[in-house]
Amino acid sequence: MSLPTDALLDAAATHGTPLYVYDAGELDAALNRVRAAFGDARVYYAMKANPNLTLLRRLLAAGVGFECVSSGEVARAEHIGAVGTELLVNGPAKSEAEYAAGSRLGATFIVDREEEVALLPPASRALVRVNPALAVSTHDHLATGALGSKFGVTPAQVPGVLGALRSAGHTALGLHVHIGSAIRDAGDFTAAFGCLTDLRDVTGPLTVLDAGGGWGLDADLAGIAREARRAAQAFGAELWVEPGRYLVARAGQLLTRVVGTKRTGRNFVLVDAGMTELLRPMLYGAVHPVTALWDAAEQGVWDIAGPACESGDVLARDVILPNPGRGQLLLFGEAGAYGAAMSSTYLTRSRPAEVLWEHGRWTVMRRREVPQDIWSAEE
Ligand code: LLP
C-alpha cells in the first residue's frame, strides 16, 4: 500500500499521532483477491482482526458476514444490522449471553467440544470444529490446530458430536477447521483439509465445510483456495472461509512521530507509539515493515522504541533508517489487522484515532480517546 506522503503529513498534522491510517483502495483490493481465489465461497470476516464499525459496514455492504467470538463482537454485528446467515458465533468457552444473543439473531454456532451440544439453544444451526493436531508454520501463540491446543474436537470425536447434534434436534451443517494465524506454508492447509476429508466415509455428505482463516500475507492464496475447494467438494458441501488478517492487514499502517534519539549501547529512535498501540512485536516477535517519511544524508542501524516504562517496549530492532530527528514521521506497515484491535489503555494512554483515506481525503473512523474515556466506567 502506498498512501501519498503529503496526505500522511496532513493526517498527522490534523489528527495527531500516533494514528492508524487505512487505505480504502487496499481494503477493496484484498476482498477482491479473496473472491478471485475462493470463487463463490461465503466469506465471514473474523472481526477480531479489526472490529471498527466503518470496516464492518463496508464489508457487510459487500456481502461479507462475520465470525464473532464474544458478546461484544456479536453486539457490533447486531449494531450494524447483520443477522441470521451473516453471523457465526465461535469460541472455546462461550457464555450464556453469547448463546442467547446468537440464538436471538439466528447465528450459526461453531461447536468446540462435545459438552456444548447440551448447552446450545434449541434447534441451533451448528458446525463442529475439528482439531487436526498438526504442527504449523507460525508462532506457537498463533497455532490453534496443534496437538496441545485448546480448540476443537479430535477427528475421532467428530461422528459422535455430529450424531449428538442431530439427536438433540439441531441442524449439524458440517465441519470447521482453523489451524492458526499468519501461516506461511500453504502445505499446512493441505494437511489440515486432508485430515477432514479422511473423515468423509464416517460423516457422509455435509452441507458446509468451513475452512477458517489464518492465511499469511505472503502465503499462496490460490493454492490454499484450491485445496479448500477440493475438500468441500469431497463432502458435496458449500465452502465457507473466515479470513481476518488477510482482509485488513495491508490496508492499515501505524503513523508515529519521532520524539528523539539516543545513542547508548545501541542506537535508539524513540517514537510516540509503543506496546499500547502495536503489541504484536512484543507478543509474537512480529516484524512490521518500517517506512521513514524523511530523507537524510546519513543512515544508521536503529532500534525503534516506544514511550512505555517497560524495557520490552521496542517496536523493531536493527532497522536501517536515514538518521532521524525529532518531529519526523514513520510508518509501521501491515498493521491493519490486530493493531488497533489489540491496542490498550495501559498507563492510561488514550488509544489512537483511526482515519480512512478514500476519494482523496481522510475521514475519521474512530476519534482519539481522551483520558476521561478511560476512567469513565470507574466509580
Ligand atoms: N477463524 C477463527 C476461528 C479464528 O480463531 C481466527 C483468528 C480467524 C478465523 C482469523 O484468522 P486470521 O485470518 O486473521 O489469521 N492476535 C494474533 C492473531 C490471533 C488470531 C486469532 N484467531 C496476531 O496479532 O497475529
Sequence ranges of the domains in the chain: 5-18+252-335+352-368, 25-246
Atom of ligand 1 nearest to the CA of 214: 15
61, 156, 309, 370: the catalytic one is 309
CATH 2.60.40.420 fits 25-246, yes or no: no
Q: How far is CA 19 from the centre of its chain?
A: 19
Please name the residue that has the C-alpha cell 482519539: 368
pLDDT in tens, 15-46: 999 999 999 999 999 999 999 999 999 999 99
- Ligand 1 contacts CB of residue 246 (under 6 A): yes
- pLDDT of 176 above 70: yes
Query: Is pLDDT at 370 greater than 90 in this prediction?
Result: yes
Nearest Cα to Cα of residue 87 among 31, 70, 319, 295 = 70
Cα–Cα dist 354/161, whole Å = 43
Rounded to the nearest angstrom, the distance between the alpha carbon of 322 and the centre of ligand 1 is 35
Note whether 304 and 271 are within 8 A (CB): yes
H/E element holding 7?
helix 5-15
What pLDDT does 136 receive?
84
Ligand 1 contacts CB of residue 67 (under 6 A):
yes
Output the residue whose Cα is nearest ligand 1's atom 10.
Answer: 244
Percent of the chain clearing pLDDT 70 (strictly above): 100
202, 165 contact by CB (below 8 A): no
Q: How far is CA 3 from CA 7, 221, 253, 255, in A?
A: 7, 25, 10, 12
Indicate if ligand 1 lies below 6 Å from the C-beta of 46: yes
Query: What is the residue-averaged pLDDT of the chain?
Result: 97
Q: Residue 353's beta-bridge partner residues?
A: 19
CA of 157 to the centre of ligand 1 (A): 24
Burial of 47 (0-12, 13-18, 19+ CB in 10 A): buried
Q: What CATH number labels 5-18+252-335+352-368?
A: 2.40.37.10
**Is the separation of the CB atoms in 210 and 241 below 8 Å?**
yes
Q: Which atom of ligand 1 is nearest to the CA of 181?
A: 15
Task: Check pLDDT > 60 for residue 1.
Answer: no
pLDDT band, residue 237 (cuts 50/70/90): very high
Query: Of the candidates 255, 243, 254, which has an alpha carbon nearest to the alpha carbon of residue 216?
Result: 243
- 309 belongs to the catalytic site: yes
User: Which ligand 1 atom is nearest residue 286's CA?
Assistant: 25
Q: What is the pLDDT of residues 121-173, one digit of tens each?
A: 999 999 999 999 998 878 888 888 888 889 999 999 999 999 999 999 999 99
Count other C-beta atoms under 10 Å from residue 56's C-beta: 22
Tell me: the pLDDT tens digits for 280-290?
Answer: 999 999 999 99
